[in-house]
Amino acid sequence: MPRRTSDRQLFFREFLRNFHTTGAVLPSGGRLAAALARYVAENGAPKRILEVGPGTGAVTRRIIAAMGPDDRADLVELNDRFVVYLRECIDNDPGFQSVAGRIRVHHCAAEELVAEEPYDLVISGLPLNNFTPPAVERILQALVGLLKPGGTLSFFQYIAIRRARALLSGRKERERLRGIGLAMDAVLRGNEIRRDWIWPNVPPAWVHHVRFQQSDRQALPVE
Ligand SMILES: C[S@@+](CC[C@H](N)C(=O)[O-])C[C@H]1O[C@@H](n2cnc3c(N)ncnc32)[C@H](O)[C@@H]1O
Q: Smallest Cα–Cα separation from 73: which of 94, 95, 92, 100?
A: 100
Q: What is the pLDDT of residue 204?
A: 84
Q: Smallest Cα–Cα separation from 194: which of 42, 14, 7, 15?
A: 42
Strand partners, 153: 122, 210
73, 96 Cβ separation under 8 angstroms? no
201 lines ligand 1 (CB under 6 A): no
Give the separation between CA 208 and CA 153, rounded to whole angstroms: 8
For 220, residues 6+ apart whose C-beta sits below 8 A from its C-beta are 140, 141, 144, 186, 187
Residue 223 counted as domain residue: no
64 lines ligand 1 (CB under 6 A): no
Residue 222 counted as domain residue: no
The Å distance, Cα 198 to ligand 1 centre, comes to 19
- Look up the domain containing 103 and give its range: 3-215
The Å distance, Cα 57 to ligand 1 centre, comes to 10
Domain total of the chain: 1
Top mutation candidate among 56, 61, 79 for ligand 1, by most atoms within 8 Å of CB: 79
Could you list the beta-strand ranges (E) of the chain.
48-52, 72-77, 103-107, 119-124, 147-158, 192-198, 205-211
206, 156 Cβ separation under 8 angstroms? yes
**Mean pLDDT (10-residue bins), the chain, 223 residues:** 79 95 92 97 93 98 97 98 97 94 98 96 96 97 96 90 74 91 95 92 88 65 48
Residue 102 counted as domain residue: yes
DSSP assignment string, 42-68? GGG---EEEEE--TTTHHHHHHHHH--
> What does R_g of the chain's alpha carbons equal in angstroms?
17
Q: What is the pLDDT of residue 104?
A: 97
125 lines ligand 1 (CB under 6 A): yes
Spell out a b/e string for 121-160, using b for 16 or more CB atoms within 10 Å of the CB, else e: bbbbbbbbbbbebebbbbbbbbbbebbbeebbbbbbbbbe
Give the separation between CA 87 and CA 95, rounded to whole angstroms: 13
Ligand 1: nearest atom to the Cα of 82: 27
Q: Could you report the per-residue pLDDT of 168-201, keeping only the tens digit for each?
A: 778 898 899 999 999 999 999 999 999 999 987 7
The domain that holds 152 is classified in CATH as 3.40.50.150
122 lines ligand 1 (CB under 6 A): no
User: How many Cβ atoms sit within 10 Å of the Cβ of residue 67?
Assistant: 21
Q: What is the pLDDT of residue 32?
A: 95
8, 26 Cβ separation under 8 angstroms? yes
What pTM does this model have? 0.93
Q: State the Cα angle at 143 between 61 and 131, rounded to 5°.
A: 90
Q: What is the pLDDT of residue 144?
A: 97
Residue 86 counted as domain residue: yes
